[in-house]
Amino acid sequence: MSIDYDGRRFRNTGYAPGESAPVGHYRHEGDLLWAHFDGGPVRRGALSGLVNADGTLEFTYTMVLDDGEVVAGRCWSTPEILADGRIRLNERWERYGERASSGESALEEVLT
């Protein structure tokens, strides 16, 4: 699956509609992927990684939360095309450091 992520925005689905949530602004050139994100409890975040030949994404991320905590980790995303044509990124992530954890989450493309 070949998707051009350049200029697309993605919102974390773990937040209710209308609730402030992190939104990522993606850039894509060749196999390079990067983004910045903020919103919800995230003051500022960034990611940098690759779009693999099979269409999956692999990247590292950092973010500063509202409470001042600095978070870093790694993520692997599998894209899915939704019935309305938007992209959903199904994520598996690891967080490093003092509050290390791992889990799954999803982002969905925001239009307009």
pLDDT per residue of the chain (112 residues) written in tens, 0 to 9: 689 999 999 999 999 988 999 999 999 999 999 999 999 999 999 999 999 999 999 999 999 999 999 999 999 999 999 999 999 999 999 999 888 999 999 999 999 7
pTM for the complete prediction? 0.93
Going by C-beta distance under 8 Å and a sequence separation of 6 or more, which residues neighbour residue 89? 10, 57, 77, 78, 79, 80, 106, 107, 108
